[in-house]
Amino acid sequence: MSSVDAAWLGMEDPTNLMMVTGVLALDGNVDLKRLRALLDKRLAPFGRFHQRVVRPRLRAGILHWQDDPHFDIGNHVSHIALPTPGGDKALRDLVSELMSTALDTTKPLWHVHLIDGHDRGSVVLARIHHSIADGIALVRVMLSLTDPSPTAAPPRRRSNHANDAGPIDWLPAAIGRGVAAGQHLLDNPSRIADVARLSAQGAYRLGRLIVLPPDPATAFKGRLGRRKRAAWSTPIPLEDFKAIGTAFGATVNDVLVATATGALRRYLERRGEPTAGLSIRASVPVNLRPAADAHKLGNSFGLVFLTLPVGVVDPVKRLGSIKKAMDELKRSPEALVAYGVLNVMGLAPVEVERMGLRFFGSKATAVLTNVPGPREPLYLAGRKLDKVMFWVPQSGHLGLGISILSYAGGVMLGVATDEGLVADPERIVEAFGREFDSLRAAARRKPGRTRIKAHV
């Protein structure tokens, strides 16, 4: 097991499980037997999904992967029926419960749940440990289960390699566009060619990270408990975010992050907390995987700290501040520095690793991820994939996770919180919609604006 993958395994804590949780909502019902057969076939190229973690007998030993001699797909795919009458609230409660439930460490670290009783069709919920791979690869794994049409033939397998990811062709193209294709919000910093200059800049950035003061106390920070809460939005047209960006000379990512920042401001104000002059930091994963390695599993990303100007009242000025901060990070080697820190932490004793987590975790309030997904609708087991959402773990003992996902022309926001800190993440989701309305209205008032459709 690589030291970075081991680092994610070492971060596991009962109050902060290191799982990526994904939800695929289908337009129609899927049979459990068919889903198990599909998973058994489509996950065959991913050898890691048939392997369990073996811990060394000696404390100084190295963790490694081992084929599970008793692997049975039935142990990893189960059925759950939502209580009557079903609906979004029942699904949110179930997702929250499963997000708070640890995986069986004696088996390969993943589980898929087929959920029935939710409105228009079945829901497939996947829980996959972060030590298997990062978000860029795990989104690829989930979407490798899908087809471009209801009757499409299954894609051809790649080699049966332990770290091979499956056959989805939209992801490498996304990386090639310089856009985050998994946990990737900023442009790839790997364009820095001068190693000597990178080393000097890296040392400087590491020094800056170390001396960063802790993030201020807000409702989002505090002692964590074992129960988590999840919420998500309805899709908003991606074209509207593009039009807002065009109106103000910003990227879609800038607009999305600014909208999320405004939602956090609205939530804090609702709780009566002061926001004047408040800035908090988000830990943002940045993809470091070369396009040629897009098909591989494992963890290949760094983290950067992005300042979110929650205290800025005007949404347009807030967007300008976000754009400036994002542009600066795009030119920074900070992600590579953070990847190196993770590498070292994975080799260190558990006590040292946890000290490092607490130290760097104190400098942020949230984890913020953005996944540009497929542009066209997909199908799973013959059923149209209606909605897709995911949540990454909040490493560093953080209690707030914000996930942004685009799929088939729409954008959704997902929020994961510690129940003891924020028991109502759906309020943040609602605030995201209102903040989007504010930015859209401002863009409409701007001369020479691009036409923005009304969002229903």
What would the DSSP string read from start to end of 177-194? TTS-SSS--S--GGG---
Check: CB of residue 399 under 8 Å from CB of residue 224: yes
Q: Is the pTM of this model over 0.85?
A: no
Q: What is the pLDDT of residues 209-237, one digit of tens each?
A: 555 678 899 999 999 999 999 999 999 99
Spatial separation of the C-alpha atoms in residues 424 and 34, rounded to whole Å: 36
Domains of the chain: 3-445 (3.30.559.30)
Closest alpha carbon to 249 in 304, 323, 346, 351: 323
**b/e code 406-430 from CB counts within 10 Å (16+ = b):** bbbebbbbbbbbbbbbbebbbbbbb
Q: What is the mean pLDDT of residues 90-107?
A: 96
317 token code pair: 């000025």
Q: What is the pLDDT of residues 401-411, one digit of tens each?
A: 999 999 999 99
Higher-confidence position of 411 and 185: 411
Q: Bridge partners of 401?
A: 367, 416
Spatial separation of the C-alpha atoms in residues 282 and 366, rounded to whole Å: 5
pLDDT for the residue 209: 57
Does residue 350 register a pLDDT over 70?
A: no
Q: What's the first-to-final CA gap in the chain, in angstroms?
A: 48
Centroid of chain to Cα 72: 28
Q: What is the pLDDT of residues 352-388, one digit of tens each?
A: 555 555 556 678 899 998 888 889 999 999 999 999 9
17 token code pair: 């499980």
Helix axes 334-347, 3-10, angle to 10 degrees: 70
Q: Bridge partners of 13?
A: 16
Spatial separation of the C-alpha atoms in residues 24 and 316, rounded to whole Å: 34
Q: What is the mean pLDDT of residues 100-109?
A: 95
For 410, the enclosing helix (H) or strand (E) is: strand 410-418
Q: Bridge partners of 111?
A: 127
Band (447; pLDDT cuts 50, 70, 90): confident
| Residue 217 buriedness (CB in 10 A; 0-12 / 13-18 / 19+) | exposed
State the chain's mean pLDDT as an integer.
80
Spatial separation of the C-alpha atoms in residues 244 and 240, rounded to whole Å: 6
Cis peptide before 235 (omega within 30 of 0): no
Q: What is the mean pLDDT of residues 274-303?
A: 73
Half-sphere exposure of 72 (CA within 13 A, CB side): 5
| Residue 213 buriedness (CB in 10 A; 0-12 / 13-18 / 19+) | exposed
Check: CB of residue 22 under 8 Å from CB of residue 373: no
CB count within 10 Å of CB 24 equals: 24
